[in-house]
Structure 1
């Protein structure tokens, strides 16, 4: 088992994509293979997963008022 990850930034990005549910099957398989050999990636995966679960449990989901959405979109379009 590796004790140091030479690609920690890339691995973290891949972990986040996977936990967000936006990964391809190829990315999932690549991470699965990596987790069998890389201790730092196992720790990063577990930490990111725990953080995501905690945030989802603590956040109350509410709809934004339509006026707020329109205002934000108008401001964004000014920069386009």
Structure 2
């Protein structure tokens, strides 16, 4: 079983008193979370997220959920190379 599935929820653990229970900019945080999980985040985005993780319960929970989903999909999906004929067709349509 995936270890991230066994990670207790932040809401199940004792929470430091400085933790936020709502995120005023959750949509922006979700974009950063996706960029981090996709390996496309800038260092500035990573730093912002690290700072935010120390104080925002919704962002912690969203990160854990998104990571769990991504890990599950990577584990379950079989990766197969795309046939060269399909690649050639796509490239020719792009170039035309």
Structure 1 CA distance for aligned equivalents of residues 25 and 94 of structure 2: 35
- Does residue 11 of structure 1 match 2:29? yes
2:45 aligned residue: 27
For the aligned residues, what is the CA RMSD?
1.2
2:4 aligned residue: none
Q: CA deviation at 1:71?
A: 1.0
1:49 aligned residue: 67
Q: TM-score, normalised by structure 1?
A: 0.88
The structure 2 residue matched to 1:60, chosen from 68, 72, 78, is 78
Q: CA deviation at 1:74?
A: 2.4
Runs of 4+ in 1 over 3 A off after TM superposition: none
Q: TM-score, normalised by structure 2?
A: 0.75
The structure 2 residue matched to 1:39, chosen from 57, 68, 75, is 57
2:93 aligned residue: 75
Alignment: residue pair count: 78
Structure with greater helix share of residues = 1
Segments of 5+ residues of structure 2 without an aligned counterpart are 1-18
